[in-house]
């Protein structure tokens, strides 16, 4: 094991101060002092209020509902760290924005996930820590190391404690089948898959249920929920195929935009279990919503990065 004698400094951007505070508490450190403000025209200003020369700097900044503002603040803060002579700059981005634009599905479309990866590198980041990317191949878009964490242990522990009977884990589409199978195996459950078409952005039509859900307790499992159109339509399809009325939804990233809260509140889920990679404001909370903290995982990843210890051991 190789240790690191450089000083570790953890800073938190404005997108998710609560998660940053929790990470600092788990690490047992005081967070770095910096100022983030806006000029009257809306431009972002960042000032680091302490020396970081020669330090290993970690910056926690997620992509929330204000994804463009969050990313611009992230780029500017990385530049400030670089110009202040930090030894290394690791960005902790719990929810990686633009991850859904990971390929060209139509002619003349951008690959925005690749662009954001390029911008982070150009700004001066040396490493990225993130969680449950929408597509695993996004790791390859970076020319710097990426530590791709998963919230799987949090969901496994939570649902094991519920001791659900006749459980079946349902993937919302074929792209999430592999991850859903991992959760099903760890919970000793069966697997089903929803097959859907998406005629427009944020609109989906569920066509088929692959697997027998008759009389089963359904756990619909996805990486993110945006408008909740897919999951609520999927739930309707599962009901038609005879699942029981004890239904659960789990996702890592609760984007919850547009009509999501209204849809989830009236869908009939017994519980909607999410993590805190994105801050959930009071108006976006509803009965049955459970929020699991990712702070212990990110704190452990930060510590292991700083001390040059394997991160994969966290999940083994």
Per-residue pLDDT tens for 215-268?
999 999 999 999 999 899 899 899 999 999 999 999 999 999 999 999 999 999
Q: Which CATH number fits domain 8-150+295-315: 3.40.630.30, 3.40.50.2020, 3.40.50.1000, 3.90.1150.10?
A: 3.40.50.2020
DSSP element (H, E) containing 193: strand 190-200
Compute the chain's Rg from CA coordinates: 20
CA–CA distance, 59 with 83 (Å, rounded to integer): 15
CATH 3.40.50.2020 fits 152-292, yes or no: yes
Q: Give the CA distances from residue 1 to residues 85, 147, 221, 305, 310, in Å, rounded to whole numbers and listed in that order.
A: 27, 18, 37, 12, 9
Domain ranges of the chain: 8-150+295-315, 152-292
CB 161 within 8 A of CB 179: no
Q: Catalytic residue among 114, 181, 182, 196, which?
A: 196
pLDDT of residue 1: 44
**H helix runs in 108-249, sequence order:** 112-123, 152-162, 177-187, 229-240
CB 312 within 8 A of CB 7: no
Which regions in the chain score pLDDT beneath 70? 1-4, 197-207
Name the token pair of 212: 């027998």
Could you identify the residue written with the tokens 């994105």?
278
pLDDT of residue 6: 87
CA–CA distance, 257 with 63 (Å, rounded to integer): 13
Number of CB atoms found within 10 A of residue 87's CB:
15
Entry pTM: 0.94
Name the token pair of 19: 């998660």
pLDDT of residue 299: 98
pLDDT of residue 316: 72
CA–CA distance, 253 with 141 (Å, rounded to integer): 21
216 catalytic? Reply is no
3-state secondary structure at position 188: coil
pLDDT of residue 66: 94
Burial 115-130 (b: 16+ CB within 10 A, else e): ebbeebbebbbbbbbb
φ, ψ for residue 257, nearest 5 deg: -105, 165
Same fold, 8-150+295-315 and 152-292: yes
């Amino acid at each position: 094991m190789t240790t690191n004698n450089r000083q570790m400094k953890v800073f938190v951007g404005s997108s998710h101060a609560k998660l940053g505070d929790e990470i600092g508490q788990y690490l047992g450190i005081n967070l770095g002092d910096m100022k983030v403000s806006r000029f009257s025209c809306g431009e972002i200003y960042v000032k680091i209020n302490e020396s970081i020369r020669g330090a290993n700097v970690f910056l926690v900044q997620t992509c929330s509902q204000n994804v463009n503002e969050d990313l611009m603040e992230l780029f500017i803060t990385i530049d400030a760290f670089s110009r202040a002579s930090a030894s290394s700059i690791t960005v902790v981005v719990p929810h990686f924005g633009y991850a859904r634009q990971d390929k060209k599905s139509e002619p003349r479309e951008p690959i925005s996930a690749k662009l954001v990866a390029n911008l982070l590198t150009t700004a001066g980041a040396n490493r990225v820590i993130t969680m449950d990317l929408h597509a695993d191949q996004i790791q390859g878009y970076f020319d710097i190391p990426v530590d791709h964490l998963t919230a799987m242990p949090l969901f496994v522990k939570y649902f094991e404690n519920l001791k659900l009977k006749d459980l079946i884990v349902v993937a919302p589409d074929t792209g999430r089948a592999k991850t859903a199978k991992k959760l099903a195996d760890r919970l000793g459950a069966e697997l089903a898959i929803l097959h859907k078409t998406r005629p427009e952005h944020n609109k989906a039509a569920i066509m088929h249920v692959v697997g027998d859900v008759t009389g089963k307790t359904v756990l619909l499992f996805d990486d993110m929920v945006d408008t909740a159109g897919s999951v609520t339509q999927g739930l309707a399809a599962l009901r038609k195929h005879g699942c029981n009325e004890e239904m659960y939804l789990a996702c890592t990233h609760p984007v919850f935009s547009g009509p999501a809260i209204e849809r989830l509140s009236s869908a009939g889920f017994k519980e909607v279990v999410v993590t805190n990679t994105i801050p959930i404001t009071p108006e976006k909370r509803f009965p049955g919503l459970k929020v699991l903290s990712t702070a212990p995982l990110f704190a452990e990843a930060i510590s292991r990065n700083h001390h040059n210890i394997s991160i994969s051991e966290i999940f083994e």
